[in-house]
Amino acid sequence: MGRRLPRLPAARRRAGLLAAGHRLHARPAAVPASRRRLRPEVEPRPVFRFAPSPNGRLHLGHAYSALLNAVLASRTGGRLLLRIEDIDPTRSRPELIDAIGADLAWLGLVFDPPVRRQSQHMPDYRAARDGLIARGLAYPCFCTRGDIRAAAGGNAARDPDGAPLYPGTCRALDPETAAARRAAGEPHAWRLDMARAIGQAPGPHVYTNLALLPPPDGSRACPGSAPCVPKSGRTDLGAGEG
């Protein structure tokens, strides 16, 4: 086993991130010649996004992610976009949006306009959600955060915010039971049925976990009983509305 490197003091880590940001913007973007020859309508510029949630101050992991996206956008001639994930009104705080902007400016990062605030586009997302429901690709979930923690138990799998990953509790609910609970006004959210959605998505599919690759015969069955789905991804499609 290799020797573990010592952890740098926070001040040195902050200084290193700031220096990396300055170096990034001190040199011109290296756009490949092949991309410069392509017409935008044939091959659009690649898009890189940094999407923080305004429910807390940015930390060093956020800074690393933002700088990494900026480096990739610079090297590929891509666009660098900022998206504010303010879709949870119980946790989002408007003053933190300004704080996020100040921290990113301190790092020397410049994003292509416009800055997209998710809360300003909810009708678009509702329309997309309703389309998935109509196609049978989404299901209602009645679990609270506490229910999910209890069902996950000691499962070590966590999302980027540290919450346990959803174990699929409501995926197997029969439609009649789910409809009755919705009619009774029970709070719920809609979740994407990843196995069905991937089955209808045009290929080729790219998986982040080699254990989930489909077998050579083209079927989508995976080892054991696990559905053939990507390694990570949020599937919560928003709170139910009847």
Domain residue limits, the chain:
45-121, 135-239
- Assess whether the previous peptide bond of 187 is cis (omega < 30° from 0): no
What Å distances lie between residue 101 and 16, 108, 159, 213, CA to CA? 20, 11, 24, 39
60-76 helix and 94-106 helix, angle to the nearest 10 degrees? 60
**CATH class, 135-239 region:** alpha beta
CA 16, chain centre distance (Å): 26
Q: What is the pLDDT of residue 130?
A: 94
Q: How far apart are CA 112 and CA 123, in angstroms?
A: 24
Helix, strand, coil shares of the chain as percentages rounded to 5?
40, 10, 50
Contacts of 224 (CB under 8 A, 6+ apart): none
**According to the 3-state scheme, what is the secondary structure of 163-194?**
CECCCCCCCCCCHHHHHHHHHCCCCCEEEECH
pTM comes to 0.55
The mean per-residue pLDDT over the stretch 48-52 comes to 94
- What superfamily would CATH give domain 45-121? HUPs (3.40.50.620)
The model's pLDDT over 22-45, given as tens digits with 9 standing for 90+, comes to: 555 554 444 444 444 444 454 578
Say which residue, 169 or 18, is predicted with more confidence. 169
